Structure 1
């Protein structure tokens, strides 16, 4: 890469999972709207045709007058080719297929265990991690060999364990994980400011917050807008909407969209602990005892959020595949949009074009007190020229920290089990999850069934 008049040219970005019909298109849109950086995006995917289709879609943008960022997209058939000489590496993969995901999410329902997402914790998150960790071992080794100085941005779930694996295999790696869940809570605080104080249309970025916790179980203990302390305003907001729930957009109701909620889980956790739970209700519900919010579908409805069935994801993929065909053929024009993601802003900051403070997932170097050193945590961090420095976030209240620590230790046990291919250690983590409240015999039967359904990705295990 080279710097020319406050711009960076000839940048190499390697995209692992470059056949994505979601994250990859978001990246294309964000890069197209940013004129200060340009170069090549090297797409790698185990489905080469999907990556090649994205090559065609991405390259169709460069000639357009409304596109500021001029990029060349190229699909590669090997990880080595994609990673060689990369300045940045983006990882966004689906660990396995929807067949394995269907087992992760729905097999536990036969035993009365319900999961609203099933990709981070819970029985589904643990089994997903067991097949994902070996993939990230291979990715970390390849980065160490072919582009050891590259910055690595991970979007894959389970976020914490993906980033943790990268550092376990390659301790000198410059990696971090990105998640937009906290952004939604900033937007909710903006709505609370409007509802309680009549201050309208405050941009998310102007809501200044202190973030601490782990991915999808993040918390905010300080929130401000200019000189206004938002914590008492949020309390008034919670008291007002605790029973009824808060639905900010009438056209996007939790009853017909399982990706949104009426925020009642978030409100309940605030009333329990006095700090703001800063993730979507679907994720938050999976980190606490199952009988709180996920006892059964009726309980889920009472808390005004939804279970996301894998069947919806399968149907959604069909629509995205059809859209991909239209984009490749030119029948549909690629629409530039504001994705709300910060990956391109992070890249710019690391290139020294601007500073940025935002939330990321990286090892705990002391930015959170009371959580083991080296465990991957989520806090704000300062991005600057070739540097990422976590912001000291303080300590969670003891009651919240005990919930977080249980998950931290369980995630560490899952990592060790995956690396050692240790069935007993993995089962110990499985039965220690707060959602697994069934008998030992049922837990063993469920665990064995779920491993059987994902055994294609468990090479070397004695099952």
Structure 2
């Protein structure tokens, strides 16, 4: 995983496109789709043959494009995409938000929450406690919560101040959907305290540690640790609870990524949306959300439309389809240089060719790359220090499109 992720993050950086996560949108998210979707399609073929009535609960990113390819290639298999971001609202950090806003949650009233959008870019459209609308209070305090930095996720509160609506997603994800606020011109300054660039080395060390820990815990003398601390729970990750609800016919709401069929009429049909869903008689049912508010609809619709372009590219293995998907992506289009994006694509295809069999006929040779106008050399990716150096800088004239130079 880390070898491909190294390319996902550092080649786009060479062309002036930073990514703090790179798993959903941007060049990194798109190439992750290219690697993931063909594998998912093969797994689905086995499921259709061996266990067609199984319920697929997917945690794999990129969630939206992975699920869209699932619905299109295996429409008869019941599949749902899951994400845990909404459970930030249950955290101590968000408890501080409610306390500061003088929202009394000590009674036994229930929160009434509706939300909709895309995975890693979904928004709360209704936020009530009992019958009281909490949004007027949150809007009044948004400026302080953004500027003070005491409540976490200042970017989300800045967007609440700007739009009147709150996204519950971790702000590093949200920033990649809105390159005005996170881009070549400001990312090293860490606007809104957002991570400047994904540290692939750190992620690799974390995974190695976890693999070693799991391997060690398999030994008999550590079995008590597994029984006490590592047994399945119904905490933040809700797959176990969802499976129980389906089996017991409990109509509890869960955060789901499903196909849009008019549930959010302001978004294209047949894109994948993140909304509340529940089980009834073993089937997933969608909660009607209605239209997204105008301030955020224009942002979400850009990415919703691009899902199909990415899936088309992953399934076809066509560089023309891939070019269309990259050029339509806001992180790529921010640098306003279509030619650079095409050369970025050729560099990424070359360096990721071992994971992209669908593109085998379109992979350039290194000798061909060396003749191209924009080349990322192997040595420039060989160390962390070299990999994190930009090479082909965007034109300074587009700095005016960047926050805080354009507020």
* TM-score, structure 1 normalization: 0.71
Report the equivalent of 1:451: 349
Q: How far did residue 308 of structure 1 move? A: 3.0
Query: Greater CA deviation, 401-410 or 168-177?
Result: 401-410
Say yes or no: does 1:427 pair with 2:323: yes
Q: How far did residue 338 of structure 1 move? A: 6.2
Structure 2, unmatched stretches of 5+, are 363-407
Number of equivalenced pairs: 351
SS of 1:293's partner is: coil
Separation of aligned partners in 2, 1:280 and 1:296:
22
Separation of aligned partners in 1, 2:135 and 2:147:
19
Q: Which has the higher contact order (CA 8 A, sep 6+)?
A: 2
**Alpha carbons 2:143, 2:158 under 8 Å: kept:** no
Matches within 5 A, 1:331-410: 331-332=221-222, 333-334=225-226, 335-336=229-230, 339-352=235-248, 354-410=250-306
Q: 2:218 aligns with which of 316, 322, 328?
A: 328
Q: How far did residue 283 of structure 1 move? A: 0.5
Matches within 5 A, 1:226-245: 226-245=130-149
Separation of aligned partners in 2, 1:294 and 1:312:
22
Q: 1:412 aligns with which of 308, 311, 314?
A: 308
Matches within 5 A, 1:133-212: 133-185=37-89, 187=91, 189-197=94-102, 199=104, 206-212=110-116
Separation of aligned partners in 1, 2:115 and 2:188:
29
Report the equivalent of 1:293: 182
Report the equivalent of 1:277: 167
Residue deviations 1:17-65, cap 9 Å, x none? xxxxxxxxxxxxxxxxxxxxxxxxxxxxxxxxxxxxxxxxxxxxxxxxx
Structure 1, unmatched stretches of 5+, are 1-96, 248-261
Between structures 1 and 2, the one with greater strand share: 1
Separation of aligned partners in 2, 1:190 and 1:277:
16
Report the equivalent of 1:441: 339
**Alpha carbons 1:103, 1:450 under 8 Å: kept:** yes
Separation of aligned partners in 1, 2:194 and 2:107:
26
Separation of aligned partners in 2, 1:368 and 1:388:
16
Q: How far did residue 236 of structure 1 move? A: 2.7
Separation of aligned partners in 2, 1:169 and 1:235:
43
Residue deviations 1:394-427, cap 9 Å, x none? 1112342222121112111111111111111111
SS of 1:368's partner is: coil
Query: Greater CA deviation, 328-337 or 216-225?
Result: 328-337
**Alpha carbons 2:125, 2:293 under 8 Å: kept:** no
Separation of aligned partners in 2, 1:308 and 1:221:
30
Say yes or no: does 1:308 pair with 2:308: no
**Alpha carbons 1:355, 1:382 under 8 Å: kept:** yes
SS of 1:242's partner is: helix
Residue deviations 1:71-129, cap 9 Å, x none? xxxxxxxxxxxxxxxxxxxxxxxxxx210011112221112211111000011001111
**Alpha carbons 1:193, 1:233 under 8 Å: kept:** no
Separation of aligned partners in 2, 1:350 and 1:343:
11
Matches within 5 A, 1:91-170: 97-170=1-74
